[in-house]
Amino acid sequence: MFKLSRIKTFLSAAIVLSIAAFFIFYRLDANPLYMWDESRLAVNALEMCRSGQWFVTTYRYKPDMWNVKPPLMIILQAMSMKMLGYNELAVRLPSAIAAFSTVILLFAFGIRQLKSRLVSVSAVLFLCTSGGYICMHVSRTGDYDTLLIFFLTAYFLSAFSFINTGKYRYYILFCGFLLLAMLTKGVGGIFFLPGTALMLLFHLKSKSFSLKYLLPVFVVFIGIGAYYLLREKLTPGYVHTVIYEEIRGRMFNENFNTGSPWYYFFKRIVEVHFNPWWILALLSLPVYFISGSTEKKLIAAIWITLVIFWIAISISINKNDWYSAPSFPLLALLSAITFNAGISYFIKNIPYKNVAIGTTLLLIFYFPFIKTISSVYEVNDHFGFAELIKANAVTDNTVIISSRYDPSLDFYQEALAIKGITIWIRPSESVRPGETIITLNNSEADLVQQRFNCNVLYRLKETVMMTTKN
């Protein structure tokens, strides 16, 4: 019987993890780099590879004081570039691996701590069909957020596993993942710490002040403190910039104001990011009263952690769409607990129980699957530019038309230069007859075509490649 149970667990894992891998990895490099964070990190990582400077991140080979997060994510991207080259896949692979690791973590937690294959399977499916996880700026692009989500989820679940089992190794894992979270996104690494700390303090009580538990925490904060002190020594003014960029500015300065109401993240969770699964997550509150002791502890711990986290991001003046993404794995667990309770109540005594559960899963997830698959196939307006680069159609002295800040073009210019291909980035006014140019939006293409007779060589969405003549 034990062997049969292990076979079922293995088959369940193989099926849901294959689905998750498809959603996360398929066509990962289809779109060109997105402006802002992803492309800025890509430039940081490329320059790290070229300069050999693995501690201080740079932009245009000067210390980067605009992106002041710790360098862990950029180091991983640089290592990826060393193996795969200077391309979109190398930039996004660390993020995708982190997203897949979060999925594995949820599945393993459901099996080991909750002893439920159905919770494991459904938690993975809820997460992978939520609109805010398999998307741009989270699992499908090379940003900080997916690596941060993995470490936040890992240290919360490690702390809970310590409470649930009493095994000290889980406490050490909690501290290790906490340090890695802070080395990923600085202040963002402590998003789940207040709720997790309350959970640990309530469990340990007076033991909290014993050396056994205080020493690993001291090591964590000495480690992160040492990073900031050394970085300050190497680039004076760094700590002051971090305080402004990550705390004071983002919380209160009008320069960061996105103009969103305090309930913005809840609205997005309900309408897009965790729709329709938020209903099941909310129903975990009444389910708490009929759950076993482990599930009760987990439901309470998750809600306390998420409420504190949501308050913090909701009072901030800066509300970017992806800031609520760390909550999705824990919401997926709440939804899975509710789903398991419903299945146990309605299906437990019917014949062919496993067939009924499989049919229920298929019916529930069919349309979310289709929606998620369509998002994997989405291409952005600059898709054609990426296709030109992959086809080696961008030749020496090609001019890219741009008059705005765009770090993605800096990345492609440097990556092509490494291959011996020189491209120029110039505004449309500087175009001369006899040049091969690429425009990345329709308005720029129109401006050029008003001034010159143009021979269009390639057009896809808003990318146009053409030659100019009088």
Q: Is 3 helix (H, G, I), strand (E, B) or coil?
A: helix
The pLDDT-based confidence of 366 (bands split at 50, 70, 90) is: confident
Say if residue 318 is in the same domain as residue 440.
no
Per the prediction, the chain carries an average pLDDT of 91
- Same-domain check for residues 453 and 305: no
> What 3 state SS string does 402-431 have?
CCCCCHHHHHHHHHHHHCCCCEEEECHHHC
Record the tokens describing residue 351, joined without a space.
Answer: 């014949």
Please name which of 269, 406, 254, 262 lies closest in space to residue 330, comparing C-alpha atoms. 269
Same domain, 417 and 315: no
**Residues 224 and 290 placed together within one structural domain of the fold:** yes
206 and 168: one domain?
yes
DSSP secondary structure code for residue 69 in this structure: S
Domain hosting 449: range is 383-469
Question: What does the pLDDT look like over 79-135, one tens digit per residue?
Answer: 999 999 999 999 999 999 999 999 999 999 999 999 999 999 999 999 999 989 998
Angle between helices 278-287 and 328-347 (to 10 degrees): 60
The answer to whether 357 touches 121, Cβ cutoff 8 Å, is no
Q: Are strands 423-426 and 398-401 parallel, antiparallel or unpaired?
A: parallel
Token reading at 108: 């393993």
Q: Do residues 68 and 40 lie in contact, with contact meaning Cβ atoms separated by under 8 Å?
A: no
Residue 33 per-residue DSSP state: P
pLDDT at 351: 62
Residue type, 100: F
398 pLDDT above the threshold of 90: yes
pTM of the predicted protein model: 0.94
Q: Both 393 and 297 in a single domain? A: no
Residues 405 and 372 placed together within one structural domain of the fold:
no
Task: Give the pLDDT band of residue 299 (cuts 50, 70, 90).
Answer: very high
**Do 214 and 347 share a domain, yes or no?**
yes
Cα 203 from chain centroid?
Answer: 31
- Of the candidates 238, 213, 222, the residue with the CA atom closest to the CA atom of residue 182: 222
Please check whether residues 397 and 370 belong to one and the same domain.
no
Are the C-beta atoms of residues 81 and 90 closer than 8 Å to each other?
A: yes
Question: What does the block give as tokens for 118?
Answer: 């159905």
Confidence of residue 259 (pLDDT cuts 50, 70, 90): confident
The reported pLDDT for the residue numbered 353 is: 64
d(CA 43, CA 73): 13
> What pLDDT, in 10s, does the model give residues 31-40?
889 887 899 9
Q: Do 224 and 265 share a domain, yes or no?
A: yes
Residue type, 153: T
> 110 and 7 share a domain?
yes
Among candidate residues 376, 396, 419, the one where a domain is terminated: 376
Answer with the one of 328, 347, 376 that is the final residue of a domain: 376
Q: Which 8-state DSSP code applies to residue 34?
A: P
Dump pLDDT digits (tens) for 399-444.
999 888 889 999 999 999 999 999 999 998 899 999 999 998 888 8
Residue 457's Cα: distance from chain center in Å?
Answer: 37
pLDDT of amino acid 311: 95
Residue with tokens 């391309």, as numbered in its chain? 87
Q: Are 303 and 449 contained in the same domain?
A: no
Residue range 238-252: mean pLDDT, rounded: 88
Q: Is 122 helix (H, G, I), strand (E, B) or coil?
A: helix
Angle of helix 145-165 relative to helix 168-185, nearest 10 degrees, comes to 160
Range from 294-308, 332-346, 375-389, 436-450 that averages highest in pLDDT: 294-308
- In this structure, the number of other CB atoms found within 10 A of the CB of residue 347 comes to 15
What pLDDT does 386 receive? 83
Tell me the one-letter amino acid at 192: F
Final residue belonging to a domain, choices 351, 376, 401: 376
Give tens-digit pLDDT for 150-203. Answer: 999 999 999 999 999 999 999 999 999 999 999 999 999 999 999 999 999 999
The number of distinct structural domains making up the chain is 2
